[in-house]
Amino acid sequence: MRIAAMDWRMVEDWLRHDDRACFPLGSTEQHASLSLSVDSILAERVAVEAAEPLGVPVFPVMPFGIAPYFQAFPGSVTLRVSTLCDVVRDVLDSMKRGGFRRILLVNGHGGNQPAAAAAQEWLVDNPDCRVRFHDWWKAPRTLAQVQATDARASHANWMENFPWTRLPTTVADGDKEMVDADRLRTLPPFEARNLLDDGSFGGRTQRSDNEMLAIWDVAVSETRALLEAW
């Protein structure tokens, strides 16, 4: 259940018999003609759908992450590594004080990896807790489903083009040559924009909704299994 649909008494009632919770991490950054909030939308949605049958509370998604390479694209926001890690630690501290002890961080943005290390550091001082950092899109079963669908899965291409991340202006299906990712990582923001052009890393723009929903079902199931294992 979304924390946004609960009051504090409902949370207290939950904590009388369970101490699990989800905290999604996203980003606000360019995704070609998809929503700037793709990473946040997907992280929160997979967490909510995974947790709902179990009644596990899901906190609001962290909408900003680490994305300095997209700073030449208007609307993209980036945090310092230290800022994101501090926020994650502060949230974990608050959740623990409230009574949560098993916390699943459902991550939707590759640039947020430093938060995984911050969570591990946090456990050093909080050995009575359990925290798991879950990159939903590259968990083993989900990644296998993605690769079986189309091996050219990458940023802002078909892999992130779900019915709930599209806009009325999202371009129709197309195919773009894959960019040189190694070269991209060496470039400052404005040169990165010139290389990317529309913002996609290449590959097909869109695949069928049936294929996308098949991937989504696996992702939700795999995320739920982590909560159930606790």
pLDDT tens readout for residues 80-110: 999 999 999 999 999 999 999 999 999 999 9
pTM greater than the 0.85 cutoff: yes
The answer to whether residues 107 and 226 touch, using CB atoms and an 8 Å cutoff, is no
pLDDT tens readout for residues 193-205: 999 999 999 999 9
> Residue 54: pLDDT band by 50, 70, 90 thresholds?
very high
CB neighbour list of residue 51: distance below 8 Å, 6 or more residues apart: 1, 22, 57, 58, 224, 227
The whole-number pLDDT of residue 163 equals 97
Amino acid at 88: V
Domains with residue ranges and CATH for the chain: 3-229 (3.40.50.10310)
Kind of pairing between the strands at 175-176 and 203-204: antiparallel
Round the average pLDDT of the chain to a whole number and report it.
Answer: 97
What mean pLDDT is predicted for residues 6-23?
Answer: 98
The whole-number pLDDT of residue 172 equals 87
> Residue 218: pLDDT band by 50, 70, 90 thresholds?
very high
> Residue 25: pLDDT band by 50, 70, 90 thresholds?
very high
pLDDT tens readout for residues 132-171: 999 999 999 999 999 999 999 999 999 999 999 999 999 9
pLDDT > 90? residue 73: yes
